[in-house]
Structure formats: C-alpha cells, structure tokens
Amino acid sequence: MVFSVIVPVYNKEKYVEHCINSILNQDFNEKFEIIAIDDASTDKSLLLLENIAKNRKDDRLKIIKHAKNKGQVLARRAGIDASKGDYVMHVDADDWLLNGAFECIYTIAKQFDPDIIVLDSYSILLNGKKILRKFAYQEILTEDKCLIQKSFYFHSGTKIAKREIVQNMVTGQRETRTTADDLLYCFEIFMRAKTFYLLPKAFYVGRRNLESLTQTSANNEIMLENRIVVLQVLRKIIDSNIANTVLLNNILLRLEKQILSFCTGVNKSNGMSKSNELIKALQLFPEFSDHRLHSIKLALISRKYALFIILKKYGIIYFLNTIVSIVYRKVKK
C-alpha cells in the first residue's frame, strides 16, 4: 500500500464529505487508505463518514471512533498507529486535495525514495480568494537540513513522510492541546528524516479563517500558554533526536519572536501571572541567556518594551507587522 491519509474529524459536518470524496476520487491505480478518526463529534460528522463508507462500499475508508474528545494530536496519533501505507500524509477534515495529487507524489517517491516529500498548498480565504503558500522554494533532493528548515515550521498537510519516520514519535504521546500541533509534528519529522524532496506544486487546499491571522487579546494569552507547552514538548523532541546547534537556535529564535509578539496583546497583570511559568519553560534550553530571559520578563509586563525589543532585535518589517496586528485587534473589538 502506497499512502495512508490521516483525517482527524471533530464537528466538521459541513465539510467532511467534500474532504473524503476529494481523496477517494483521486485518479490513482495504486493502493491507498483513508483513516478518518472521529474525535467524539457532537454533530453529524460520524454519520456522514459511515454513510460514505456504506454508500460507496469502499474499503479504502476506515473509521476510528473516539468515545471522548482527545484533541487533534491524539487523533492523528491513532491514525498513524493504524496506518499501513509506505507514506503517511495528513488532511484536515475541512480541507481537500486536488486531483492528481497521489499520482504526482507517487512518481517522486518511486523515483527518488525520499524520507519526506514537501509540497506547496493553497489557502481559500473567507472572501473566496485563493492564495499560494510556499513551502517548497525550489525543486531539489537534499540532505541539507539547514537549507530547508523554514519549510518545516508548520502545515503537516504539505509533508508526506515515510511511515517509519512518524511512528513512535514524542509528539502525540500524550494529550497536548496547543495551537502549535503542526510546528511540533513538522519539526520532529524534520529531525528524524535524512532525505527530502521539495516539489513546488500545490495539491492541498485549506480553508483559512481571516481572524486567525491576528489574535484578540484573550487569544494572545492562550497562545502564550500554548508556547509553554510547545517548549516543554520541544525539549523532549530534542532530547530524543540529534539536532545541530543551528537548527535548534533557528526554531528557538522563531518561538522567541512569537512570544514577544504575543506579549503585545497581554495585559500587565496576566503577563506577570504567566511570567514564572514561561521563564521556567524557556530555561529548559541553555541557549536562552539571562539577558534574553530578562527581556522577555519585561516584555510580559510592558507592551511598549515588547515592541522596542521586536524593533531592536528583528527589524522594521517584523515591527510593522506587529503594529498592523495590534491595530487590527483594536478595530475588531
């Protein structure tokens, strides 16, 4: 069997039929399976999945039922554990695949046998506009991780990995409810793999909520809490894999940028309450010097200082992006 497609489903009755049919309808002569994990949906998602399986009489669709909601991380893990394909790929239940995806990916897998294939994707905004999201910046077969690391910071749907790469991962060993599931999954498979094929073609189409691009103040606090979980899990990933200094510093720098950005949307009292917990998580990494930790502490209780640090460390472009985000949040209130 060539592909195992993992589809976690939770209350997606509006989209799940389109998603599943876009996979089953692929023009592809080789064997593949869809493993749909209903994560205790309270709408008609499970019924729709069962109807697809019944009406199409297609044994390529396999359904796993969770008696209680476990979250996307554990749902994906259940799908991976049940998978039998040579390669594993992920599709969210409100997204879909364009026809030709399997045939194109299979051609690359058969010819080059990479551990991971990276593709681009499309996003559909609420206004109907379709935008291309780049992850494969050039077509290349490589083992140079420093060259391609920025392709692995998010979007698991654009990473097709050999099944042995995604088995027994740190990510998914326990429930981790965080908005950065993809970052952890993508970084861990990046650490585990040796060969990568970047293919600048897009077959994955995702629905993108415009409001998710800039968070409300309350959501900034949630995002900050999530980064504490991310740091804790990331420490375990690093301890379980060989990561060179450059790769580790790059992802820590990215997380530091995110934390400082979230600090601009957290009020002073909440920032102080999260300070000790966040600093403790950051101290899991010796790369964070006392000076860097002190700057983050100040940023947590002062939005102006957070903006100053962003401007000083990351330049005018990142600073202006943060300002736009703050203005958008105020307008939406």
Do residues 280 and 194 share a domain? no
Reported as a single tens digit per residue, the pLDDT across 106-139 is 999 999 999 999 999 999 987 888 999 999 999 9
**Do 333 and 326 form a contact (C-beta atoms < 8 A)?**
no
Q: Is 90 exceeded by the pLDDT of residue 22?
A: yes
Q: Which of 168, 187, 211 is the last residue of a domain?
A: 211
Do residues 45 and 130 share a domain? yes
Which residue(s) pair with 1 in the sheet? Answer: none
Q: Please count the structural domains in the chain.
A: 2
Q: Which of 211, 227, 251 is the last residue of a domain?
A: 211
- CA-only gyration radius of the chain, Å: 20
Do residues 241 and 312 share a domain? yes
The C-alpha atoms of residue 81 and residue 249 are separated, in whole angstroms, by: 31
CA end-to-end distance (rounded Å), the chain:
51
What single-letter amino acid sits at 178?
A: T
Give the pLDDT confidence score for residue 224 in this predicted structure.
83
Q: Which of 185, 211, 237 is the last residue of a domain?
A: 211
Q: How confident is the model at residue 262 (pLDDT cuts 50, 70, 90)?
A: confident
**Helix segments in the chain, DSSP class H:** 16-24, 45-56, 72-82, 101-112, 145-148, 163-166, 181-192, 217-240, 245-263, 268-282, 290-301, 303-332
pTM over 0.75: yes
Do residues 99 and 198 share a domain? yes
Give the pLDDT confidence score for residue 330 in this predicted structure.
54
Q: How confident is the model at residue 223 (pLDDT cuts 50, 70, 90)?
A: confident
Do residues 22 and 54 share a domain? yes
The C-alpha atoms of residue 286 and residue 239 are separated, in whole angstroms, by: 13
Reported as a single tens digit per residue, the pLDDT across 36-70 is 999 999 999 999 999 999 998 899 999 999 999 99
Q: Which domain holds residue 58?
A: 3-211
- Phi/psi at 252 (5° precision): -65, -40
Closest by CA to 64, choosing from 91, 31, 39, is: 39
Do residues 190 and 262 share a domain? no
**Do 184 and 169 form a contact (C-beta atoms < 8 A)?**
no
**Do 199 and 136 form a contact (C-beta atoms < 8 A)?**
yes
Do residues 201 and 242 share a domain? no
**Do 202 and 131 form a contact (C-beta atoms < 8 A)?**
no
Give the pLDDT confidence score for residue 271 in this predicted structure.
59
Do residues 70 and 206 share a domain? yes
Count of CA atoms in the C-beta half-sphere (13 A) of 61: 25
Which CATH number belongs to the domain containing residue 149 in this structure? 3.90.550.10
Could you give the C-alpha distances from 99 to 105, 150, 201, 235, in angstroms and in order? Answer: 12, 27, 12, 39
